């Protein structure tokens, strides 16, 4: 986005994606994402209600097309692991290097690596996958500020709708790994947990990396959620807490062995 003075106006600007389209130098476009148009429409005036009634049904076609292009792009992907984590993790930090190590270890174990395609921990995991020579996938999302797929993504898809993108993370992965992160990472983590808890997905290890970061949450789950009977004691075992890239791979292998043993013959 430009600041409007002459020099800046002459400079190329990264802009943002609106679905597959790249928009540069247009502040109005940047302020409104497609997701927001769908979810945040005002119902207050009759005019707004009429507009919504007219436009929402047609949005379905666009939503449908996102599923079609996602399924099409990822259909031949082999075994893959989705790695979530903060968009704000800085390069050169221990957490960033941990993310690179996780991507690389997963790659060496034969998994493609799928992330949100953004900066920070997502970039780190994509870099590790790239270094291991396995497919490094980034599923980007249209956001109201500058963003682009990180440079370590080999196969990139950009989504308008969060929910279509989330389906791809689950459908094409055999496990979830969470590096330290904020609301976005927690949302993705708890969505995966809910899907496993409700048996919408069955064979699915979920691994948290970094005990310093995650143990507070684990304690709260045990001391509050289990104690108050909001979740069962066994639900806590859906999560595995580890500290190193090697342990991530071991945790995934262990869960898969256990699930194989439990599977009906
Ligand atoms: C500089 C900046 C904030 C860029 C944001 N650019 C992003 N690009 C792609 N996915 C994202 C982005 N921000 C959040 N996410 C999604 O939310 C998670 C991270 O959110 P958070 O930083 O933990 O809460 C990621 O796993 C990703 O799937």
pLDDT 10s digits, 34-50: 777 777 766 677 777 77
ipTM field = 0.91
DSSP SS3 for 22:
strand
Question: With the C-alpha atoms ordered 106, 251, 254, 173, is the resulting torsion angle positive or negative?
Answer: negative
- Residue 228 CA to ligand 1 center (angstroms) comes to 32
Q: Output the pLDDT for position 156.
A: 95
Q: Whose CA is nearest to atom 27 of ligand 1?
A: 116
* Lookup: tokens for 19: 């679905």
pLDDT 10s digits, 213-262: 999 999 999 999 999 999 999 999 999 999 999 999 999 999 988 888 88
Q: How many CB atoms lie within 10 A of CB 128?
A: 27
- Going along the chain from its start, the domains and CATH numbers come out as 78-262 (3.40.50.450)
- Residue 264 CA to ligand 1 center (angstroms) comes to 38
E strand or H helix that includes residue 97 = helix 94-108
């Amino acid at each position: 986005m430009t600041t409007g003075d002459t020099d800046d106006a002459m400079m190329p600007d990264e802009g943002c994606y609106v679905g597959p389209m790249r928009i540069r130098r247009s502040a109005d476009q940047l302020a409104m994402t497609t997701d927001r148009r769908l979810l945040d429409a005002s119902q207050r005036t009759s005019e707004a209600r009429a507009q919504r009634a007219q436009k929402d049904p047609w949005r379905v076609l666009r939503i449908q097309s996102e599923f079609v292009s996602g399924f099409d792009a990822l259909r031949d992907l082999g075994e893959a692991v989705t790695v979530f984590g903060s968009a704000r993790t800085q390069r050169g930090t221990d957490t960033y290097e941990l993310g690179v190590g996780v991507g690389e270890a997963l790659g060496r174990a034969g998994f493609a690596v799928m992330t949100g395609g953004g900066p920070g921990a997502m970039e780190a995991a994509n870099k590790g996958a790239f270094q291991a020579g396995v497919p490094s996938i980034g599923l980007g999302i249209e956001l109201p500020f500058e963003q682009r797929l990180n440079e370590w993504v080999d196969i990139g898809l950009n989504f308008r709708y969060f929910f279509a993108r989330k389906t791809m993370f689950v459908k094409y992965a055999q496990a979830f790994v969470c590096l330290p992160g904020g609301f976005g990472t927690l949302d993705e983590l708890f969505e995966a947990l809910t899907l496993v808890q409700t048996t919408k997905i069955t064979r699915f290890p979920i691994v948290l990396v970094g005990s310093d970061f995650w143990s507070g949450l684990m304690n709260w789950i045990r001391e509050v959620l289990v104690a108050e009977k909001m979740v069962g004691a066994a639900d806590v075992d859906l999560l595995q807490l580890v500290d190193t890239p090697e342990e991530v791979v071991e945790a995934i292998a262990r869960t898969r062995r256990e699930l194989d043993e439990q599977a009906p013959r």
